[in-house]
Amino acid sequence: MQEDFPDGVKAFYDAGTLACVALDAVIGPQVFLSGFPLAGSDPEQGQQFLLDHAAEHGNCLLYTPDDSLSLTDLGVLLRSQQVGATRLTRPLFVKEEWLESHYFRDHLPLEGCSG
């Protein structure tokens, strides 16, 4: 089940329990990790930030088939979103079981995906 909010936030549920929150790159609320803006940044800078953060804090990294990067122990998955002629970062906050699942991890966010 998916629930859309007017402020660029999408919530996804698994058996009635919140499983993922996806923020829009442009209109979604801005969130920061150690001072870095996760929404609306350059994807290359976002990935480099996550790599540096993982090296400094010992986070577990995971690449997805679309070259997105996740800090699995924090439940942060950094996707990119096409905005006009450019791509911007789009953060997702995902429960551990979904990050461990190839299906969910590789299809998040689930818009337009048959499950």
Taking only Cα atoms into account, the Rg of the chain, rounded to an integer number of angstroms, comes to: 13
pLDDT above 80 for 35? yes
φ, ψ of residue 46 to 5 degrees: the values are -65, -45
Q: Rounded to whole angstroms, how far apart are CA atoms 65 and 79?
A: 11
Structure confidence by residue, pLDDT tens digits, 5-32? 778 899 999 889 999 999 999 998 999 9
pLDDT above 80 for 92? yes
> What is the DSSP code (8-state) at residue 30?
P
What pLDDT is attached to residue 9?
Answer: 92
Mean pLDDT of 51-78: 93
Q: Which residues pair with 21 in a beta bridge?
A: 11, 93
Residue predicted with more confidence, 105 or 44? 44
What pLDDT is attached to residue 66?
Answer: 82
Q: How would DSSP label each residue in 58-105?
A: TPPEEE-TTS-EEETTTTEEEEEEEETTEEEEEEEEE-HHHHH-HHHH
What pLDDT is attached to residue 112?
Answer: 46
In three-state secondary structure terms, 15 is coil
Residue type at position 115: G
Tokens of 105: 């991890």
pLDDT above 60 for 39? yes
Residue predicted with more confidence, 16 or 103? 16
